[in-house]
C-alpha cells in the first residue's frame, strides 16, 4: 500500500488516493497532439459536444416520453412540445443534434480518408470509428421511431422488411425483430429500449475504445509527416515550444477546439431556433396510420446515399431480381467503408493531394455520394431512376478500383519498401 501522509490540501488528498496529478498529465497536459493540424482536427471534440447535448436533452425528454403506440405521439407533440416548460427546446436540440451529428461524422470520416489517417497502425481508429457510425445509425433509426408519426411507422415498416430478404431465416427474422407480424407496440417498446439503453451503452464503450486506439499510433497531421513523439514532447517540456512539432491536449489543442466548437454551436443554435425543419420531417407530425401510406417515403438525409444504392438497381439483370441486386449493393455499401484500410494498397501515408490517382478517387466518391443523397430523396421515376442506377454503379466501381489505384499511386508517395 502506498504511504499516505497528511494531505497538503484537497488536491493532494485526492492525488494520494487516485493519482490525479498523474492522471491529468496522461489524459490532458502531457497527451501530445501534432501542431501541424487545421480545424478539421477539431471535429472529434465537436462530436463529443454534440453527443453530450444529445445525452442531456435525451434525459429530459425521457422524463415525459411514453413508449406506447396510443400515447407516444401526443406525449411528444403535446406534452413535451407544448405543455412542459422548455420541452420544445430539448426536443429541438435533440432533433437538430441528431441530424447535425451525422454531418460532423461525415466531415470527420472524410477528413480521415483525405489525410490517410486510417492505415499504417491507425486501422483500429478507423474500425472503431466505423463501428461508431454503425451504432449511431442504429441509434438514429430507433430514435426516429419514437414519436410514432407517419414516417416513424413507415420507415420502421420498410427497414425491418429488408431483413426478410435474407435467405432461409428472413421471414422469421423480421417477426423476431418486430416482436409481432407487423410493426406494432412491441416494436416501439423494444426500439425504445435500444435507443435509451443498449445502444447508448455500446456507443459510450466504443467512444472509449476509439479514444484509446489513438494513443499508440498517435494523431495524424496535415502532411502525414512521421516523427518521434517522445523526442518532440521532450522539446516541448524543455521550453522549446515553438520548435516542437507537438502540443499538449490541454490547454493548447483544446484552446483551438473551443473556438471551433463556439463557431459550430452558434450555427447549431441558429438551426435549433430558426431552421429545424430539415431535422424534423413534416410528415412525421401526422400520427402513424397503418392504413395510409405516405406518398413519399424517404429516410433522413444521412441514410439517403445508401438507400439510393438499394433503390438504384431497379431492373432485373441476368436473371437476378432487381430487389436482390439492390439488397446486395446495399449490404456492400454498408460494409465497404469499414474495409478501407485493407483496400488501400499504398503502404505509405500521405494526404490525398499528394496521391495523384487517389485524389481524383476521393473527389469522385464525394460527388457520387452527394448525387446519391439528393436522388435518394427524389421520387425514383423516369430520369431520376437512371441517375440513381449510374450513381450506384459508380459507387461500387469506385471501390472495386481502389486497390489498383492506390497500388499504382505508391510510387509517388515513397514507393513500396
Partner 1 sequence: MRELKILGVVLFFTLALYWGVEPFAHSQMHPHVADADFTFKDLPAQSKIGDAKQGEENFQNAGCAGCHSLKIEGIDAPMDNATASASFGVVPPDLSNAGAIYDTNFLAALIKNPTVALKVEHKFSETKPHPMTKFYGLGGDINQEIADIVAYLKSIAPTEKLDDKQVFADACARCHTLKYENIERTSEQVPLTKYMGSTPPDLSMMIRSKGEEYLMTFINNPQKQLKGTAMPRVGLTQEAQEQVINYLEKTGDRKKDERNALGYKVIGFMLIFTLLAYLWKVKIWREVH
Percentage helix, strand, coil for the chain under 3-state DSSP, each rounded to 5: 70, 0, 25
Q: At what angle do helices 87-115 and 356-377 cross, to 10 degrees?
A: 150
How far is residue 307's CA from residue 301's CA, in Å, rounded to a whole number? 10
Whole-number Cα distances in Å, 29 to 122, 289, 330: 23, 55, 44
Shortest distance (Å) from residue 181 CB to partner 1: 24
Stretch binding partner 1 (CB under 8 A), from 49-57, 87-95, 340-348, 394-402:
87-95
Shortest distance (Å) from residue 370 CB to partner 1: 6
Cell 490517410 found at: 116
C-alpha cell at 360: 481524383
Shortest distance (Å) from residue 272 CB to partner 1: 8
The reply to whether 201 sits near partner 1 by the rule CB under 8 A is: no
- Contact with partner 1 (CB under 8 A) among 374, 385, 396, 398: 374
Q: Total residues contacting partner 1 (rule CB under 8 A)?
A: 53
Stretch binding partner 1 (CB under 8 A), from 133-141, 171-179, 315-323, 377-385:
377-385
Shortest distance (Å) from residue 140 CB to partner 1: 15
- Contact with partner 1 (CB under 8 A) among 212, 259, 386, 404: 259
Shortest distance (Å) from residue 342 CB to partner 1: 27
What part of residues 265-294 is at the interface with partner 1 (CB under 8 A)?
265-266, 269-270, 272-274, 277-278, 282-287
The reply to whether 304 sits near partner 1 by the rule CB under 8 A is: yes
How far is residue 229's CA from residue 316's CA, in Å, rounded to a whole number? 55
- Contact with partner 1 (CB under 8 A) among 182, 204, 255, 400: 255
How far is residue 311's CA from residue 376's CA, in Å, rounded to a whole number? 8
Shortest distance (Å) from residue 259 CB to partner 1: 4
Nearer to partner 1, 3 or 295 (CB): 295
How far is residue 150's CA from residue 277's CA, in Å, rounded to a whole number? 16
- Per-residue x/- track, 24-63, partner 1 (CB under 8 A): -----------x--xxx-----------------------
- Contact with partner 1 (CB under 8 A) among 109, 165, 247, 349: 247
- Contact with partner 1 (CB under 8 A) among 17, 296, 353, 411: 296
User: Left if phi > 0, otherwise alpha if psi is -120 to 50, otherwise beta: which for 414?
Assistant: left
Shortest distance (Å) from residue 358 CB to partner 1: 17
The reply to whether 390 sits near partner 1 by the rule CB under 8 A is: no
Q: Show the beta-strand stretches assigned E in 197-352.
A: 246-248
Stretch binding partner 1 (CB under 8 A), from 49-57, 84-92, 116-124, 137-145:
84-92
Helix spans in 238-382 (H):
254-274, 304-312, 322-336, 340-343, 356-377
Enumerate residues 6+ apart whose C-beta is below 8 A from 106.
302
Contact indicator for 82, 32 with CB cutoff of 8 Å = no
Would you say how long the chain is, in residues?
Answer: 417
Three-state secondary structure string covering 287-312: ECCCCCCCCCCCCCHHHHHHHHHHHH
Whole-number Cα distances in Å, 177 to 3, 138, 234, 321: 56, 13, 55, 25
Task: Report which DSSP code applies to 121.
Answer: T
Binding site for partner 1 (CB under 8 A): 35, 38-40, 74, 77-78, 81-82, 88-89, 92, 103, 107, 241-242, 244, 247, 251-252, 255-256, 258-259, 261-263, 265-266, 269-270, 272-274, 277-278, 282-287, 295-296, 301, 304, 366, 370, 373-374, 377-379
Amino acid at each position: 500500500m502506498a504511504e499516505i501522509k497528511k494531505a497538503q490540501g484537497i488536491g493532494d488528498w485526492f492525488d494520494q488516493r487516485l493519482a490525479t496529478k498523474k492522471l491529468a498529465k496522461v489524459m490532458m497536459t502531457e497527451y501530445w497532439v501534432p501542431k501541424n493540424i487545421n480545424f478539421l482536427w477539431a471535429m472529434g471534440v465537436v462530436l463529443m459536444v454534440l453527443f453530450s447535448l444529445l445525452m442531456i436533452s435525451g434525459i429530459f425528454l425521457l422524463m415525459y416520453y411514453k413508449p406506447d403506440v396510443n400515447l407516444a405521439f401526443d406525449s411528444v407533440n403535446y406534452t413535451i412540445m407544448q405543455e412542459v416548460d422548455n420541452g420544445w427546446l430539448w426536443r429541438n436540440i435533440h432533433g437538430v443534434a441528431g441530424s447535425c451529428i451525422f454531418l460532423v461524422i461525415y466531415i470527420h470520416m472524410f477528413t480521415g480518408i483525405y489525410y490517410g489517417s486510417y492505415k499504417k497502425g491507425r486501422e483500429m481508429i478507423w474500425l472503431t470509428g466505423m463501428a461508431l457510425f454503425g451504432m449511431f445509425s442504429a441509434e438514429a433509426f430507433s430514435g426516429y421511431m419514437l414519436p410514432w408519426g407517419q414516417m416513424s411507422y413507415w420507415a420502421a415498416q420498410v427497414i425491418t422488411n429488408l431483413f426478410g430478404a435474407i435467405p432461409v431465416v428472413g421471414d422469421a427474422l423480421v417477426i423476431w425483430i418486430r416482436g409481432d407480424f407487423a410493426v406494432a407496440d412491441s416494436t416501439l417498446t423494444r426500439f425504445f429500449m435500444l435507443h435509451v439503453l443498449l445502444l447508448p451503452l455500446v456507443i459510450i464503450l466504443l467512444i472509449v475504445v476509439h479514444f484509446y486506439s489513438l494513443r499508440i499510433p498517435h494523431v495524424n497531421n496535415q502532411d502525414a509527416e512521421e516523427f518521434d513523439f517522445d523526442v518532440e514532447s521532450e522539446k516541448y517540456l524543455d521550453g522549446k515550444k515553438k520548435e516542437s512539432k507537438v502540443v499538449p491536449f490541454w490547454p493548447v489543442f483544446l484552446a483551438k477546439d473551443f473556438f471551433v466548437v463556439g463557431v459550430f454551436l452558434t450555427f447549431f443554435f441558429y438551426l435549433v431556433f430558426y431552421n429545424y425543419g430539415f431535422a424534423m420531417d413534416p410528415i412525421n407530425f401526422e400520427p402513424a396510420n397503418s392504413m395510409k401510406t405516405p406518398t413519399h417515403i424517404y429516410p433522413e438525409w444521412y441514410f439517403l446515399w445508401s438507400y439510393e444504392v438499394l433503390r438504384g438497381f431497379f431492373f432485373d439483370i441476368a436473371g437476378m431480381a432487381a430487389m436482390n441486386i439492390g439488397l446486395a449493393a446495399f449490404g456492400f455499401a454498408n460494409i465497404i467503408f469499414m474495409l478501407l484500410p485493407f483496400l488501400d494498397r499504398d503502404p505509405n501515408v500521405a494526404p490525398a493531394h499528394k496521391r495523384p490517382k487517389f485524389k481524383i478517387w476521393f473527389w469522385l466518391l464525394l460527388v457520387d455520394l452527394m448525387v446519391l443523397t439528393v436522388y435518394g430523396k427524389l421520387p425514383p421515376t423516369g430520369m431520376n431512376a437512371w441517375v440513381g442506377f449510374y450513381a450506384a454503379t459508380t459507387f461500387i466501381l469506385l471501390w472495386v478500383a481502389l486497390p489498383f489505384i492506390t497500388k499504382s499511386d505508391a510510387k509517388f508517395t515513397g514507393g513500396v519498401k
